[in-house]
Structure 1
Amino acid sequence: MPFSDFLFYFKLGWSHIVSLDALDHQLFILALVAVYTTRHLKQILILVTAFTIGHSVTLALSVFDVIRFSSKWVEFLIPCTIFLTALFNLFRKEKIQKKIALNYYLALIFGLIHGMGFANSVRMMLAKDQNIGWGLFGFNVGLEVGQVVFVILILAVSWSMLNLFKTKRRDWIIFVSSAVFALALQMAIQRIPF
C-alpha cells in the first residue's frame, strides 16, 4: 500500500474525531475523560485505546460484511452511550481505581457501538480497496492520534479549571458531565428510530 493511501485513511480517521461533524465522538471522549486528571494520563490513554479497539472491531466486521445493523438504531444508540457515560460520572462514588477498571470495559463495549456508526460510509470506500487491512490500520491510527490530541486539550482545560481557577474537582465533573448528558439526551431524543 503506498504511503499516500495510508495517509488518506489516516486523515479520514483523524477527521472522524476532530471535525465539526464529530460532536457525538467528541462528547463521548469528553464524558470518558471528565473524571480524570493529568495524574491519570496512562490510564486515560489505555481507556481511549480500549474505545478505539472496540470501534475498530465493529468497523472491520462491517467492512468485511460479517455484521450489519440498521443505521437508524446505531445513530440512536451512540448518544445513548454518551449520556449513560455522563450519568455514570454523576452518580459514581467509588474510588478512582475501581472506576478505571470498569471504564475500560465500558469504553470497549461502547466503542463497538460507535464503530458501527461510521461503518456504512467507510465500508464502501474500503471494500473497493485491495488493501483493506492497511486502510483499516490507517483509519484507526488517525482516529487514535485524533483522540489523544483531543484528550490533551480536555486535560489542559481541566487542569486550568482545577488549578488556575480553583474549581473543586467534584464541581467540575458535575458541570462537564451534566452538560454532556443534556446534549447527548437531546441527540438521542432527536434520533429515536420509531
Structure 2
Amino acid sequence: MHPFPFYLELGFDHISNFAGYDHILFLIALCAVYKIQQWKNILVLVTAFTIGHSVTLALVSFDAFSIPSHIIKFLIPTTIFLTAIHNVVSKGLTEKSNKMGRNYLMALFFGFIHGMDFSNYFKALLMSDSSILVPLLGFNIGIELGQLLVVFVIVGIAFLFLNLIGVKHREWNIFISGAAAGMSLISMLDNKFW
C-alpha cells in the first residue's frame, strides 16, 4: 500500500492541476454568486463537494456500483453547466438559508458525479478493500486542500474585480457563470454519449 503522503499529494494534484480543469471550472461556477464576506458559505459548499466525491470513491472501491466513463465524461460538464445556469436564474440565491441548503445539496450531489471520474484509477491503486481508509482519508484531505487553494485564488480575483475595480456583483456573476456555461456546453457536445 502507498503511504498516506502519496494519497495526500494525489488528491491535491487531482484538484489543483490544470489538466483537470473541469474541477476548477466547477469551483469557479460554484463561487461565482458569492462575495468574499460569504466565505463561510463557500467553505461549506466546497466541503459538501468533497464529501460527495469521497462517498463515490468509497462506493466504487467496494464495487457497490460503476458507471461507464463515457457517461461520466458527459455528466461532469453537465454539472458545471447546471451550476452556472442556476447562478444566473436564481435571484437572491445567497440571501436565504433554505436556498443555501439547496446549494449544499447540489454541491454534494455534483460531488458524487465528479468522484466517479477518478474512482476507477483510485480503485486500481488500492491493494485490497481492507486498505481503503488511509488512502481515502489522504486523498480527500488532499482534495480539500487543493480546492481551498483554488477557491482562495477565485475569491481573491473576485475581490479584486468587485471591491477594487468596482464591477457590479450581478455583472460579475453573469460573466463568470456565462463563461463557465459556454465552456461546459462545448465539453458536453464533445463528450455526448448518444
Matched, 1:65 2:56: no
* Rounded Cα–Cα distance in structure 2 between residues aligned with 1:95 and 1:185: 23
Equivalenced residues, count:
192
* Rounded Cα–Cα distance in structure 2 between residues aligned with 1:192 and 1:108: 24
* Rounded Cα–Cα distance in structure 2 between residues aligned with 1:173 and 1:151: 15
Matched, 1:151 2:151: yes
Per the alignment, residue 52 of structure 1 pairs with: 50
Matched, 1:41 2:39: yes
SS state at 1:96 partner: coil
Per the alignment, residue 125 of structure 1 pairs with: 125
1:66 deviates by 1.0
Residues 50-87 of structure 1, C-alpha deviations (whole Å, 9 max, x = no match) = 01001100111001111111111011100000000000
Q: Is the 8 A contact 1:37 1:155 kept in 2?
A: yes
Correspondences of 1:100-115 after superposition (within 5 Å): 100-115=100-115
1:28 deviates by 0.5
SS state at 1:97 partner: coil
Q: Aligned AA for 1:50?
A: A
Per the alignment, residue 83 of structure 2 pairs with: 85
* Rounded Cα–Cα distance in structure 1 between residues aligned with 2:72 and 2:113: 7
Q: Is the 8 A contact 2:62 2:129 kept in 1?
A: no
Q: Is the 8 A contact 2:87 2:93 kept in 1?
A: no
SS state at 2:28 partner: helix
Alignment RMSD, CA only? 1.4
Q: TM-score, normalised by structure 2?
A: 0.95
1:129 deviates by 7.8
SS state at 1:93 partner: coil
Residues 101-145 of structure 1, C-alpha deviations (whole Å, 9 max, x = no match) = 211000001111111111111110024586221001000000000
Per the alignment, residue 192 of structure 1 pairs with: 192
Q: Is the 8 A contact 2:33 2:93 kept in 1?
A: no
Per the alignment, residue 179 of structure 2 pairs with: 179
Q: TM-score, normalised by structure 1?
A: 0.95
Per the alignment, residue 26 of structure 1 pairs with: 24
* Rounded Cα–Cα distance in structure 2 between residues aligned with 1:129 and 1:95: 41
* Rounded Cα–Cα distance in structure 1 between residues aligned with 2:59 and 2:129: 16
Q: Is the 8 A contact 1:53 1:108 kept in 2?
A: yes
Q: Which runs of 5+ in 2 are unaligned?
A: none
* Rounded Cα–Cα distance in structure 2 between residues aligned with 1:175 and 1:82: 14
Q: Aligned AA for 1:87?
A: I
Q: Aligned AA for 1:81?
A: T
> What is the aligned counterpart of 2:10 among 3, 12, 20?
12
Per the alignment, residue 164 of structure 2 pairs with: 164
Q: Which segment drifts farther, 125-134 or 175-184?
A: 125-134
* Rounded Cα–Cα distance in structure 1 between residues aligned with 2:165 and 2:185: 29
Q: Percent identity?
A: 46
* Rounded Cα–Cα distance in structure 2 between residues aligned with 1:88 and 1:135: 34
* Rounded Cα–Cα distance in structure 1 between residues aligned with 2:189 and 2:83: 17
* Rounded Cα–Cα distance in structure 1 between residues aligned with 2:75 and 2:102: 20
* Rounded Cα–Cα distance in structure 2 between residues aligned with 1:118 and 1:174: 30
